[in-house]
Copies of this chain bind each other. A is one copy, B any other.
Amino acid sequence: MTEVNIFNNINEEEKKRLLTCLNAKKINFKKEQSIISNIQNTSTIGYIISGSADLLRYDFNGYRTILEKYNENDVFGDMLANTNNGELMVIATSDCEVLFMDYDHLINKCKKNCPYHTTIVNNVINILSDKVNKQNERIEILTKRSIREKLLEYFNTISKNKISKTFYLPFTFTDLADYLSIDRSSMSREIKNLKDEGFIAIQGKRITLLY
């Protein structure tokens, strides 16, 4: 889904030199491990080489909300603009390899030495634009007033991205409820209604929009 990659237009040779220059470090994480606690300072950004992770928030009631999902080539970290209010965490949802780099180094320090600086900066702009777009989608969904509307807006968004009326949920239903910030059983009830009323067909995680 993510088209932009911080290393777009930088070949493997250049990339290797760049990583040395950036003092980048690769760390492996097992599924369920906490990634963000391994980030020492707020100017560190993480780049997912392989695997996946979630950005989570637990509020004081214990409610969990999935704020973002990260996959291969995604970048995360405070400098890429996650409000750092302490209750956030990034958890590996599968075994994954993460490359840690220093943001300031990436953006500023290289400026004089490194010919790939301009390319990196343009990639960062694209990553940020992409992120803003995804957040816009999320906001569109969350501002819908009912569970039904939230579900349909969410389904439409996926359908548009996949350019298909049929698609597979990238979530368990339990996680989807957290993502939409609604009660799981109420969501389950509403999905049943949508099915009964002929709006959608659904087998497991495979959903087809019938409208």
Interfacial residues, chain A to chain B (CB-CB below 8 A): 57, 59, 61, 63, 65, 67, 79-83, 85, 107, 121-122, 124-125, 128-133, 135-140, 142-145, 181
Contacts and interface: CB of A to CB of B under 8 A. Distances in A.
A37 to B, nearest CB: 20
A67 to B, nearest CB: 7
Question: Can you list the 8 inter-chain pairs with the closest CB atoms, starting with the nearest?
Answer: A81-B132, A128-B128, A142-B142, A143-B181, A135-B135, A81-B129, A83-B136, A65-B143
Contacts of A140: 57, 83, 85
A138 B130 CA distance: 17
Copies of this chain held together in the complex? 2
Contact of A83 (B59, B67, B80, B137): B137
B129 A79 contact: yes
B135 A139 contact: yes
A133 B81 CA distance: 5
A121 to B, nearest CB: 6
A81 B138 CA distance: 13
A7 to B, nearest CB: 17
B80 A132 contact: yes
A136 B82 contact: yes
Contacts of A144: 59, 181
A140 to B, nearest CB: 7
Contacts of A124: 125
Contacts of A121: 121-122, 125
A143 B142 contact: yes
Nearest to A146: B61
Given A81-B129, A125-B128, A139 B142 contact: yes
A181 B142 contact: yes
